Every structure is written in structure tokens, then in C-alpha cells.
Amino acid sequence: MSYVKNLICNQGDFTLDIPSMEWPDEGVSVLTGPSGSGKSTLALALCGLKKVEKGFQWLFKDQDMALLSPPKRNISFLFQSLELFPHMNAEKNILFPARARRISKEQTQERLLILQGYLQLSGFLKKPVHLLSGGEKQRVALARALIVKPRFLILDEPFSSLDEKLKKNSIQLLKKILEWEKCPTLLISHDKEEIESLAQKVFYIRNGQLQSD
């Protein structure tokens, strides 16, 4: 299990206050709640991209993640806007985290081949990202998030910009690859279909506070 304690994040007139939270070390946990309830703030705080008050602890596989710097936490984050690097092609986007973490070329290529198979990337790897469709961009962003075998994956409303058909396909694809990767995932969503298809545990957040497990 993964335990979070004393996660307090002040943002002027909004405060995220999570005294304790726990979720399984594998599978998909979903964080849901109305807009402005603090879902994304919680995710960013877990990554270390939001400043939190002293006393925060995140015990994950016998390690306190709160003591590590954001890069050392080895968390992959999929923004709602995907944030693909627009000046690179799909392949360079995917390989960027591996280069940043100085993973050997052989290992990276091996990993890319696997992801290419799972996410059906081969048709557009060399294409610049602005020429990709919404679904293709989504798969590139997911491959980029998974290329370094992250310790933990956070997905912030990843399907919100897709149409219904594409969303269904993407959910199935995500389910398949997460089962295979066995990477613990926190999915932020308020879509019923996504929650029903993927969630092993659901958290409901409102006004910066968890309502029930």
C-alpha cells in the first residue's frame, strides 16, 4: 500500500488538506470530484511541482517519496494538455525522458519497440507532433510517460479532449498496457465510463478534502 500523510497545500483562497490517504501499490486508483476541488493540485503536489507544508509524507514501497526531489521520485505525469514538445517529432518526444535519465540506447530502443507494438505507434513515429491526430498525440504522450518504466504514473484527465469513439479505444488501450506494465497509476477523471472501466479504488475530493474512500 501507498500512504500519504499531512498533505497540505495553500494556494491563497484555496487549501488542499489531506490528513491521510492510502491506495494499493498496483492497478489504477481514480481521483474524482467537481471542477476546482483540488484534483490536479493533489497530483502536482505528489509530483513535487506544488509547494506543500512541512510534515508531508508519502510512504511508497518502503521509501518516503516526499524526501526525494521531483526528478528522483521517477513519476511520469500526463497533463490534460499532453504538453508534447512541438518542435520534435513523435519519436524524439518519446525518447526525451530516456535521454534525460541517461538510459542506454539499447535499452531505450528495446523499450520503444515494445511500446510501439502495444500502442500502435509505428505509422507516425517520424511525424512532427502538429501533424498527429488527437488519438495519436495521446498515444505518443502515453509512450513518453512509460518509456522510462516510471515508479508511479499520474494521468490528469487524459481523455477529456477525445470524441466518444476514440475515448473508448483509448481506455481499452490504456487498460491493456497498464495491466502489462504493472505500473501503479493515479487517474484524475470525472468521467463515469473511465472510472468504471479502469478504477480499482476511487477517491472523491471536494473543496480540497477527501470525502470518502
Partner 1 sequence: MGPVNEVIVLLRKFSIGGVLLVALVLFPIFVFLFKIPLLRFPSSFYWFEVLLSTLLQAGLSAFFSVLFGIFGALGLCCVFPKYVKRGGVELFCLLPALLPPLVPVLAWVNVSEFFMHFPFSFSAVLVVHVLMNVGLVSVFFSRLFCTQTGDLSSWAFLHGVTRWSFLRKILFFEMRKDIVLIFLLVFSFCFTSFSIPLLVGGASGQTLEVFIAEQLKNPFTWPEAMALFLIETIFIFMLFSLLYGRGEKNVQIKDKKKLYLLPSLPFVVLPLLPTLLIFFGLADVFSSKTIWHDLSIIKLSVAIAGVQTVLMSVGAGVFVLFLLSAVAFCLRDLFLRRFLVAYSGASAAFMGFAFLLIGSDGPIEVLLKWSLGLSFLFLPALYRLMGESLLRRLKNQIQLADLMGAGKVMSFFKITWPQCASTFFFLSGIAAFWACGDFAYSSIVGGELGHLAMLIQDLFASYRFELATVLTWILIFIGMFCFSLFAGVAFVLRKKSYL
Q: At what angle do helices 134-146 and 164-181 cross, to 10 degrees?
A: 10
Contact 162, 136 (CB under 8 A): no
Report the residue from 10, 70, 125, 169 that binds partner 1 according to the rule CB under 8 A: 70
Contact 10, 52 (CB under 8 A): no
Residues 6+ apart with CB under 8 A from 134: 161, 162, 163, 166
Give 93 or 210: the residue with its C-beta nearer to partner 1. 93
Instruction: Tell how strand 2-11 and strand 57-60 pair up.
Output: antiparallel
Give 70 or 195: the residue with its C-beta nearer to partner 1. 70
Q: How many CB atoms lie within 10 A of CB 15?
A: 15
For the beta sheet containing 57-60, the strands, ordered from the edge strand earlier in sequence to the opposite edge, are: 14-23, 2-11, 57-60, 63-64
DSSP letter string, 43-59: HHHHHT-S---TT-EEE
107 near partner 1, rule: CB under 8 A:
no
Give 5 or 50: the residue with its C-beta nearer to partner 1. 50
Cα separations (Å) of 109 from 78, 140, 148, 179? 22, 15, 11, 21
115 near partner 1, rule: CB under 8 A:
no
Give 12 or 86: the residue with its C-beta nearer to partner 1. 86
148 near partner 1, rule: CB under 8 A:
yes
Window 28 to 57, contacts with partner 1 (CB under 8 A): 47-49
Give 65 or 210: the residue with its C-beta nearer to partner 1. 65
149 near partner 1, rule: CB under 8 A:
no
User: DSSP state, 102?
Assistant: T
86 near partner 1, rule: CB under 8 A:
yes
- Applying CB under 8 A, the span of 19-27, 52-60, 78-86, 195-203 interacting with partner 1 comes to 78-86
178 near partner 1, rule: CB under 8 A:
no
130 near partner 1, rule: CB under 8 A:
yes
Q: How far is the CB of 168 from partner 1 (least distance, A)?
A: 27
Query: Where on the chain is the footprint of partner 1 (CB under 8 A)?
Result: 47-49, 70-71, 74-77, 79, 81, 83, 85-89, 96-97, 99-101, 128-130, 148
